[in-house]
Chains A and B, each alone.
Chain A
Amino acid sequence: MTTTTAPPADVAERRPPRTRTLARGLPMVPAVVLLLVFMAGPVVYSVYLAFTNEALRGEGAAVTSLVGLDNFATALADPAFWNSVLLTLVFTLISAVIGQNLLGMALALLMRQSTKVVRAVTGAVVIAAWILPEVVAGYLWVTFLAEEGSLNTLLTAIGLPAQDWLVSVPIWAVAFANIWRGTAFTMLIYTAALAGISPEIRESAEMDGAGPVRRFTTITLPLLRQSIATNLMLITLQTLSVFGLIWIMTAGGPADASQTLPLYMYEQAFSYGQLGYGTAIALMLLLIGALASLAYLRLLPKEDKQ
């Protein structure tokens, strides 16, 4: 296609070029219409909703009016909103940036060294956790961490005191459950990235006398930089919007000790029926995600940005 010749003269004569370009675009129309109706439509509508007082019940539901930036002002002045922002950041930091990222990397490195059998078994187990439906994973963790759950049974068996983990350290409990569930994703990304590092580089480094730690920090890490950034961005965005797992495990409680932004949004929109306000929260969650993505992009050196 790059070596184009001039278009055949008869075609150029028959139609002016502009019409032809339009006609060529015609096959795109169905796809564009579908995208507009099912993707852009709801997005635009939800942006509009965020500036209204749309409600599900009560007087606000009968008449909807534009309220400007009121919803955002209310949120920024509400301590419960800031509590949720903080919890969301803590949850994302513990669960995605630290837990899932490091554990996924460790698993990927270890699996590269291990035998085929170990690799197959570990991979199967880790990925099983990932493909479990969120609700099932949530219930598994509830039975594990509940007051009379397996963890407490184990602890008391070795003489340690039991505690109700979902009540005493709820945000840690949901963060660990999310690490358990999400590690497979990171592991898969890193396994693929590690496989892309050519063995010659490693061998030559070995010959030059570099130990495993040195090889990791000066060869593996720099070569994985791009995968790490991609992985961090993906899991951060995924973790920011985790709802089902937390909803099943603690429903944001006790009080609001594990109420991350998605749960706060749900409570406002569906428990309190304030759809407009809930949508405004959703937009702010989107903004946090966008800021996080920008931050990761900044971390990458220029030549890696594609």
Chain B
Amino acid sequence: MAGRRRSPGLSRRSLIRAVGGTLVAVPWLAACGSAPDPNTVRIQYQQFGSGTVMRDHLLRVVQQLSSQRPDITIELVPLVAAEADYFTKNELMMSSPNVTPDLVYEDTFILKSDVAAGYLRPIDELVRGWPVWEELTAPSQQAVTYTDGKVYAVPTHTDTRALWYHTGVFEAAGIEQPWQPGSWEDLLAAARQIKERVPDVVPLNIFSGEPQGEKASMQGFEMLLYGTQTTLFDEASQKWVVGGQGFVDALQLIQTVYTEGLAPSLGDALNPNIGDTIYNSWLPEGQLGINLDGSWISQNWGAGAAGEWPEWWPTLQLATMPTQTGAPNPWAPGEVDFVTLAGGWSWAFPALSTKTDLAWEVLQQMMTTENALSMALADNQVTIRADVRAEPDYQGYSPTIDFFTDLGESAIYRPAVAAYPEVSARIQAAMGQVMTGGTPPEEAAAEYDAAVTDLVGPDQVVEASA
């Protein structure tokens, strides 16, 4: 061995060096290779399963733009994910300059939190003097304005919530129609009657538990809580409310419906895809009596939708969600005895994107009256724009639109603060605990209080006034 070492030594060594050098260089080169194309605008949005409403809308916009701006390439980045996962993926992508989208579709509830995290850039200069901005309602402008007074997104539409009930199930259960419960007791009575007379049917669905994400907090828990004497967030002091009886009562109702068998089985209720089951099979097949849900759900049954169901109206009818006792709602604007929460979506501009100007051009095209109208009709949106509302095609475009648009006037908005999404996750955890019946509502509420206090700090919470 020792004798052989010398002669080939040099050449072998240099060979090894060359190979080694290549190995080091390759990852470096690969890292440099993915420089983003300066004329490509990446638009990121959530795709609900196989739904193509947003894709079709965006493709139409792309087509319109391609004649005016042939130099711009638009890349659609649909994220097919459950609700909570969509926000997490969004945040992860917006936190890296390599993969950040240039325009992102955000639920307004998470917007403030993402602004606080520094993911989004203010767009005051862009919206100032933009005619469309003047068409927006004041609450919707407020929903995209952060505490620093700057605008961070362009809102697209809102939505409201109520009780959808199946007339066929109600007939079989012998419940008088039209139906309008006046209190939680009335709602439970109807559910119990369905359970007794039509045992094969799920009487009532209230989205609940962590797998349902924000749906559980907003369509579920908050639709109950805001019908009690307790609120979630005290607007006057800007503090989170703990120790409220209403919080316990709302959890108690969740526990009652889930342990009495008035709700979907736990296996179904905790399945993140229960929404698909409800819209594509339970409601069309008359397997569900009452569904506490949003204004948009009829988009699942329209012409061309995957689960087309032309008879959805008048098979399904609507009732407002009553307050706990039928007393006037202390939290809603105006004198009403029902609860509805309003949310909404918006287009926002990631701070790390270098192509905000191009994205702004795309957005302007997206938001022309004509495009906004066609999106509203296709997506079953409640509009927030005066120009869209004035269009004859919008008025009465769906049998439910007037009902839900009217609700909007008395709608309650979620706390517009950065901590909301994290508080919301704690609400879902509390719901999950009471659903199984294992934890008393008082205990789950106490755990929520402790978690929220820990989260926002003791100086940011306030005891509910009796």
Q: What is the interface of chain A, defined by CB distance below 8 A to chain B?
A: 1, 4-5, 7-8, 11, 23, 26-27, 29-31, 33-34, 37, 55-62, 74, 146-147, 164, 166-167, 250-251, 253-257, 267, 270-273
A59 and B117 contact, CB distance less than 8 A = yes
- Among residues of B, the one whose C-beta sits closest to the C-beta of A62 is B118
Q: Which of B20, B270, B419, B432 contacts A58 (CB 8 A)?
A: B419
In chain B, positions 90-120 with a C-beta closer than 8 Å to chain A are: 91-92, 95, 110, 113-114, 116-119
**Which residues of B have CB within 8 Å of A255?**
429, 432-433, 435-436, 438-439
A8/B2 contact (C-beta < 8 A), A57-B91, A58-B421, A62-B117 known = yes
* Least distance between B152 CB and chain A CB atoms (Å): 14
- Range of interface residues on B (Cβ < 8 Å): 35 or more
A58 and B117 contact, CB distance less than 8 A = yes
A56 and B24 contact, CB distance less than 8 A = no
**Which residues of B have CB within 8 Å of A166?**
267
A253/B421 contact (C-beta < 8 A), A8-B2, A30-B24, A62-B117 known = no
18 A–B contacts, CB within 8 A, in A order:
A26-B16, A27-B16, A56-B92, A58-B116, A58-B422, A59-B117, A61-B91, A147-B265, A250-B270, A251-B272, A254-B270, A257-B436, A257-B438, A267-B210, A270-B88, A271-B210, A272-B425, A273-B88
Q: Report the Cα distance A33→B22, complex, angstroms.
A: 13
Q: Report the Cα distance A34→B24, complex, angstroms.
A: 7
A57 and B270 contact, CB distance less than 8 A = no
A-B contact count (CB 8 A): 118
Judged by a CB distance under 8 angstroms, whether B127 is at the interface is: no
Q: Apart from A251-B210, A253-B211, list 19 A-B contacts with CB within 8 A.
A: A4-B2, A27-B13, A27-B16, A27-B20, A29-B24, A30-B20, A57-B116, A58-B116, A58-B117, A147-B265, A147-B267, A167-B266, A167-B270, A167-B436, A253-B209, A253-B270, A255-B433, A267-B210, A271-B84
- Among residues of B, the one whose C-beta sits closest to the C-beta of A59 is B116
A-B complex: 8 closest residue pairs judged by Cβ atoms: A61-B117, A30-B20, A62-B118, A30-B23, A167-B266, A27-B16, A59-B116, A57-B113
**Which residues of A have CB within 8 Å of B27?**
34, 37
**Which residues of A have CB within 8 Å of B116?**
57-59, 61-62
* Least distance between B4 CB and chain A CB atoms (Å): 12
A57/B110 contact (C-beta < 8 A), A27-B16, A273-B422 known = yes
In chain B, positions 397-455 with a C-beta closer than 8 Å to chain A are: 418-419, 421-422, 425, 429, 432-433, 435-436, 438-439, 454
Q: Report the Cα distance A253→B91, complex, angstroms.
A: 25
Q: Which of A31, A57, A147, A267 contacts B114 (CB 8 A)?
A: A57
- Among residues of A, the one whose C-beta sits closest to the C-beta of B421 is A57
* Least distance between B216 CB and chain A CB atoms (Å): 12
Q: What is the interface of chain B, defined by CB distance below 8 A to chain A?
A: 1-2, 6, 13, 16-17, 20-21, 23-24, 27, 84, 87-88, 91-92, 95, 110, 113-114, 116-119, 209-211, 265-268, 270, 272, 418-419, 421-422, 425, 429, 432-433, 435-436, 438-439, 454
- Among residues of A, the one whose C-beta sits closest to the C-beta of B272 is A251
B267 and A29 contact, CB distance less than 8 A = no
A7 and B88 contact, CB distance less than 8 A = no
A11 and B6 contact, CB distance less than 8 A = yes
Q: Report the Cα distance A62→B148, complex, angstroms.
A: 15
**Which residues of A have CB within 8 Å of B435?**
254-255
A273/B91 contact (C-beta < 8 A), A58-B418, A147-B267, A257-B436 known = yes
Q: Report the Cα distance A23→B113, complex, angstroms.
A: 54
- Dominant secondary structure of chain B at its interface with chain A: helix
- Among residues of B, the one whose C-beta sits closest to the C-beta of A57 is B113
B422 and A57 contact, CB distance less than 8 A = yes
**Which residues of B have CB within 8 Å of A272?**
422, 425
* Least distance between A83 CB and chain B CB atoms (Å): 11
A164/B91 contact (C-beta < 8 A), A29-B20, A30-B24 known = no
Q: Report the Cα distance A253→B429, complex, angstroms.
A: 10
A251/B266 contact (C-beta < 8 A), A57-B117, A62-B116 known = no
**Which residues of A have CB within 8 Å of B429?**
255-256
**Which residues of A have CB within 8 Å of B265?**
147, 164, 167
Q: Which of A8, A55, A60, A167 contacts B6 (CB 8 A)?
A: A8
**Which residues of B have CB within 8 Å of A57?**
87, 91, 110, 113-114, 116-117, 421-422
Q: Report the Cα distance A7→B6, complex, angstroms.
A: 10
* Least distance between A69 CB and chain B CB atoms (Å): 16
**Which residues of A have CB within 8 Å of B92?**
56
Q: Report the Cα distance A70→B16, complex, angstroms.
A: 48
- Among residues of B, the one whose C-beta sits closest to the C-beta of A63 is B118
* Least distance between A174 CB and chain B CB atoms (Å): 14
**Which residues of B have CB within 8 Å of A256?**
429, 432-433
B117 and A56 contact, CB distance less than 8 A = yes
A253 and B21 contact, CB distance less than 8 A = no
B211 and A251 contact, CB distance less than 8 A = yes
* Least distance between A265 CB and chain B CB atoms (Å): 14
**Which residues of B have CB within 8 Å of A5?**
2
B119 and A61 contact, CB distance less than 8 A = yes
- Among residues of B, the one whose C-beta sits closest to the C-beta of A11 is B6
Q: Report the Cα distance A102→B113, complex, angstroms.
A: 50
* Least distance between A7 CB and chain B CB atoms (Å): 7
* Least distance between B90 CB and chain A CB atoms (Å): 10
Q: Report the Cα distance A26→B435, complex, angstroms.
A: 63
Q: Report the Cα distance A256→B209, complex, angstroms.
A: 11
* Least distance between B120 CB and chain A CB atoms (Å): 11
A164/B20 contact (C-beta < 8 A), A56-B91, A255-B433, A255-B436 known = no
Q: Report the Cα distance A250→B436, complex, angstroms.
A: 14
**Which residues of B have CB within 8 Å of A250?**
270
- Among residues of B, the one whose C-beta sits closest to the C-beta of A28 is B20
**Which residues of B have CB within 8 Å of A26?**
13, 16-17, 20
**Which residues of A have CB within 8 Å of B436?**
167, 254-255, 257
A61 and B209 contact, CB distance less than 8 A = no
* Least distance between B241 CB and chain A CB atoms (Å): 19
A58/B113 contact (C-beta < 8 A), A8-B2, A167-B267 known = yes
**Which residues of A have CB within 8 Å of B84?**
271
- Among residues of B, the one whose C-beta sits closest to the C-beta of A1 is B1
Q: Report the Cα distance A27→B118, complex, angstroms.
A: 44
* Least distance between B450 CB and chain A CB atoms (Å): 10
Interface-central residue, B2, B267, B419, by most chain A CB under 10 Å: B267
Q: Report the Cα distance A147→B84, complex, angstroms.
A: 26
**Which residues of B have CB within 8 Å of A55?**
117
**Which residues of B have CB within 8 Å of A251?**
210-211, 270, 272
Q: Report the Cα distance A4→B3, complex, angstroms.
A: 11
A146/B267 contact (C-beta < 8 A), A27-B16, A57-B114 known = yes
Q: Report the Cα distance A267→B436, complex, angstroms.
A: 19
Q: Which of B91, B119, B418 contacts A59 (CB 8 A)?
A: B418
